[in-house]
Amino acid sequence: MEQEPVLKVTDLSKSFGGVKAVDGVSFTLQAGETFGIIGPNGSGKSTLINLITGFVKPDRGRVFFRGREITGIPPYQAVTFGIARSFQMARPFYNLAVFKNLVIPLYSPRAKRLKGGKYGDRDEVAIHLLEEVGFERDSLVPYKLAGTLPHGYLKRLELARCLALEPDLIILDELFSGMSMSEVAGILPLLEKISAEGKTLIMVEHRLKELFRVVKRVIVLNFGRKIAEGTPEEVMGSPEVKEAYLGGEVAEGAGS
């Protein structure tokens, strides 16, 4: 039986003032897959995510989510359909307590429909979600102002925010950046669990070693174009990819 792809992207393009940030990228994603998008700095990875999730309107190309066209829809609708994303630069609600940060996504129409919950309940669900991403319930951390959290914690908060939305597709934009090795090691089982639940996962990463422990298939972007697609081993064996990485900058640090 031919299964309908979760996400189908065809010929997606966007340029900013003459610079082609994303140029004719296409790929297809089956349900339950874990998928990586890699590439050197400035290769258009974040823009690609912004195009899929509606934060940027594409110049050309189309995006289908479970057979339904979602090209250029507003970001909140992408969530309603079941796509959640994290941001590379975590920007929480600094003036709210950490767990209150999650009450906002829990208030979205999608979370309301799937989780229900009245006032009071959402606080409880939020703290439960924080536990899942590794915040200890009985520590003071969930009750602190989000502005006081260190970077690694903010990244996990971002992940919790995605999970709060009960998504079918999760797009994580450089989740690992800013996390320590042990934090990454702590988060990997959770990602595996999410994947085992049948959720589809897209990860944009610079930290390839950690990424390849999670994803089965990757695409490589360079100057906005897709230059390779396949398993991590296949892709890293491609001369073009080697050229892109070695010829460009060293793949570490903040991205596009």
Partner 1 sequence: MAKMAYRKERVDRGIKARTDDIFALSSFREILYLVLPRLLVILFLLPLPLFLGTYWQKVMLITLVIALLALSWDLLASVGLVSLGQALFFGVGGYLAGFLSTRWGWYPLFTIPAATLAGAVFCTLLLYPALRLRGIYFGLITFALPLLFMRVIEATKILGGTEGLSSLPPLPGTTIELYILLVVALGCVFGFRRMFDTDYGLVLKALRDNDRSVEAGGINVQWYKAQAVFLAALPATFAGAFLTHHYQFVGMPAFALDYSILPLTSVVLGGAGSFAGAVLGACILVPLSEVLRAFGTLRVVIYSVVLVIFVVGLPEGIFHYLQRKYHQFERLVPMEEVSNGARAGFKGY
Partner 2 sequence: MEGNLVNVLIYGLVNSAVLMLTSLGFSLTFGLSGVANFAHGGLYLFTGYITWMFLHYLGLPFLPAALFSIVIVGLIGTVIYRLILMPVRGIVLSEVIATFAVGVAILEFFRWRGFVTYEFNLPSFVKGSITIAGVNVDYQRLFIIAIGIGLAVFLWIFSHYTKTGLALRGMAQDEYTALSLGIESDWAAGLSMALGSALAAVAALAILPLGLISINIGYDVLLVALAVTVLGGLESTVGLMVASLLLGYAVIITGTYLSPHWMEVVYLAAIVLGLAIKPSGLFGKFKELEERV
Cβ atoms of 207 and 175 closer than 8 Å? no
Q: At what angle do helices 98-106 and 151-164 cross, to 10 degrees?
A: 30
Question: Which one among 30, 76, 180, 234 touches partner 1, defined by CB under 8 A?
Answer: 76
Residue type, 208: L
Which of positions 204-223 make contact with partner 2 (CB under 8 A)?
none
Residue 16 touches which member of partner 2, partner 1, none, C-beta under 5-8 Å by kind: partner 2
SS3 call for 30: coil
**Alpha-carbon gap, residue 116 to 109, rounded angstroms:** 10
Question: Which one among 130, 165, 214, 215 touches partner 1, defined by CB under 8 A?
Answer: 165
Is 46 or 177 the residue whose CB approaches partner 2 more closely?
Answer: 46
Residue 47 touches which member of partner 1, partner 2, none, C-beta under 5-8 Å by kind: partner 2
**Alpha-carbon gap, residue 5 to 228, rounded angstroms:** 20
Which of positions 30-69 make contact with partner 2 (CB under 8 A)?
46-47, 50, 55-56
Q: Which helix (H) or strand (E) holds 17?
A: none
Which of positions 214-253 make contact with partner 1 (CB under 8 A)?
none
Backbone angles phi, psi at 54, to 5 degrees: 90, 5
Residue type, 164: A
Is 114 or 250 the residue whose CB approaches partner 1 more closely?
Answer: 114
Is 15 or 80 the residue whose CB approaches partner 1 more closely?
Answer: 80
152 forms part of the interface with partner 1 (CB under 8 A) = no
Cβ atoms of 162 and 83 closer than 8 Å? no
Q: Which residues bind partner 1 (CB under 8 A)?
A: 53, 55, 74-77, 79-80, 84-85, 87, 91-97, 100, 103-111, 119, 122, 140, 143, 161, 164-165
